């Protein structure tokens, strides 16, 4: 009954991608049907000075956001009875709720990670990994773009290069004055490429921007390459949705990608 009620609930008329709250402790919403895991995660997050709201079903999580609830990050269990994490994520994105989502799962195959990223998650973490790894991912996702000067024209909040404008505080992207709906992960990758416009950036550097140095994904030491290719493919498509001629992200086969200053 609850799941049907959620599917019929009216989302707020002002439904939009949520901004990081930025005032006070970072707010994390946890949705997981495993009571012991959820409680342990909640206590660990509280110890790290996060504000935490937790739910045991995807339907409850959807109700929270449908009623105007906000969060800096959503930690979402993949395998739950009734409505799994991917379906929750799909409904959030359909309602234009852009809260960054980290999917938590016991599924480790690369195909699941790619499915999570394609679905709009900003990260995918196995439950078997330590809390310190999850904490590091949370810090990276909420910290914004890594340091470094940019060759593009910059202001206190914006980077501009050619037709591109990046608004760092709000994590907004404009191309020829049209909005590009990037996730925080995607925004950070574009920012990295732009900060070194005209230079080739390695697969490893791109991956480290959102996962942290040294993390291994997929199969073997080079497994992260497929992950990066998937993300870049999605970023390109988001730009091409508003400009079919977009070609600013170039590939250096076997090495990485660069932002072409001629575009």
pLDDT in tens, 137-182: 787 776 643 333 333 444 446 888 889 999 877 778 999 989 898 8
Please give the pLDDT value at position 41.
92
Residues 135 and 10 in one domain: yes
**Would residue 166 count as lying in a domain?**
yes
Please give the pLDDT value at position 182.
85
Domain count, the chain: 2
Average pLDDT over residues 65-93: 89
Residue-range definition of the domain harbouring residue 214: 153-259
Q: Which of 122, 143, 164 corresponds to the end of one domain?
A: 143
Q: Which of 92, 118, 143 corresponds to the end of one domain?
A: 143
Please give the pLDDT value at position 222.
57
Residues 96 and 161 in one domain: no
In this structure, the dihedral spanned by the alpha carbons of residues 172, 177, 180 and 184, taken in order and rounded to 10 degrees, is -20
Bigger pLDDT: 1 or 65? Answer: 65
Is the pLDDT assigned to residue 60 strictly greater than 90?
yes
Adjacent-strand bridge partners of 251? 257
Q: Is the dihedral of CA 136, 138, 143, 144 positive or negative?
A: positive
Band of residue 11 on the pLDDT scale cut at 50, 70, 90: very low
- Selection from 128, 113, 131 nearest residue 207 by Cα: 113
Residues 86 and 120 in one domain: yes
Band of residue 113 on the pLDDT scale cut at 50, 70, 90: low
Which runs of E-coded beta strand occur in 106-234? 123-126, 153-154, 158-161, 164-167, 172-175, 178-180, 201-202
Tell me the percentage of the chain whose pLDDT exceeds 70.
Answer: 73
**Mean of all residue pLDDT scores within the chain:** 78
Is the pLDDT assigned to residue 12 strictly greater than 80?
no
Residue 191 structure tokens: 């920012």
Bigger pLDDT: 149 or 63? Answer: 63
Q: Which of 110, 143, 176 corresponds to the end of one domain?
A: 143
Residues 86 and 206 in one domain: no
**Would residue 148 count as lying in a domain?**
no
- Selection from 26, 59, 51 nearest residue 142 by Cα: 26
- Selection from 176, 171, 187, 197 nearest residue 260 by Cα: 197
Pick the most confident of 1-5, 41-45, 210-214.
Answer: 41-45
CB atoms under 10 Å from CB of 241, counted, come to 13
Which CATH number do you get for residue 87?
3.40.50.2300
Total residue count of the chain as it appears in this document? 263
- Selection from 61, 50, 123 nearest residue 97 by Cα: 61
Which CATH number do you get for residue 209?
1.10.10.10
Band of residue 132 on the pLDDT scale cut at 50, 70, 90: confident
Quick check: helix, strand or coil at residue 66? helix
Against a cut of 0.85, is the pTM above it?
A: no
* Angle, CA 214 vertex, CA 248 and CA 152 arms, to 5°: 30
Which runs of E-coded beta strand occur in the chain? 27-31, 51-55, 73-77, 101-105, 123-126, 153-154, 158-161, 164-167, 172-175, 178-180, 201-202, 249-252, 256-259
**Would residue 176 count as lying in a domain?**
yes
Residue 205 structure tokens: 């550097």
User: What residues contact residue 148 under an 8 Å CB cut-off, 6+ apart?
Assistant: 195, 196
Is the pLDDT assigned to residue 53 strictly greater than 70?
yes
Average pLDDT over residues 180-201: 88
Residues 228 and 251 in one domain: yes
Predicted confidence (pLDDT) per residue in 83-111, tens digit: 988 899 888 888 878 788 888 887 666 66
Bigger pLDDT: 222 or 259? Answer: 259
Residues 136 and 168 in one domain: no
């Amino acid at each position: 009954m609850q799941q049907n009620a959620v599917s019929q609930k009216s989302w707020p008329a002002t439904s939009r991608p949520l901004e990081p709250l930025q005032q006070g402790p970072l707010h994390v919403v946890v949705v997981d049907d495993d009571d012991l895991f959820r409680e342990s995660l909640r206590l660990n997050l509280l110890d790290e000075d996060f504000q935490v709201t937790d739910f045991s079903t995807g339907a409850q999580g959807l109700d929270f956001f449908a009623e105007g609830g906000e969060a800096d990050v959503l930690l979402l269990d993949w395998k739950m009875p009734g409505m799994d994490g991917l379906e929750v994520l799909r409904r959030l994105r359909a309602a234009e709720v852009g809260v960054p989502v980290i999917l938590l799962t016991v599924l480790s195959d690369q195909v699941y990670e790619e499915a999570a990223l394609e679905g709009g998650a900003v990260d995918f973490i196995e439950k078997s990994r330590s809390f310190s790894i999850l904490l590091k991912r949370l810090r990276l996702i909420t910290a914004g773009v890594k340091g470094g000067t940019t060759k593009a024209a910059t202001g206190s909040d914006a980077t501009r290069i050619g037709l591109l404008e990046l608004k760092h505080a709000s994590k907004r992207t404009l191309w020829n004055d049209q909005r590009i709906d990037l996730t925080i992960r995607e925004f950070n990758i574009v920012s990295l490429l732009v900060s070194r416009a005209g230079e080739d950036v390695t697969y490893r550097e791109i991956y480290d921007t959102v996962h942290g140095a040294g993390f291994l994904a997929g199969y073997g030491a080079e497994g992260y390459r497929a992950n990066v290719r998937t993300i870049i493919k999605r970023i390109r498509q988001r730009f091409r949705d508003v400009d079919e001629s977009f070609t600013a992200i170039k590939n250096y086969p076997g090495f990485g990608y660069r932002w072409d200053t001629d575009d």
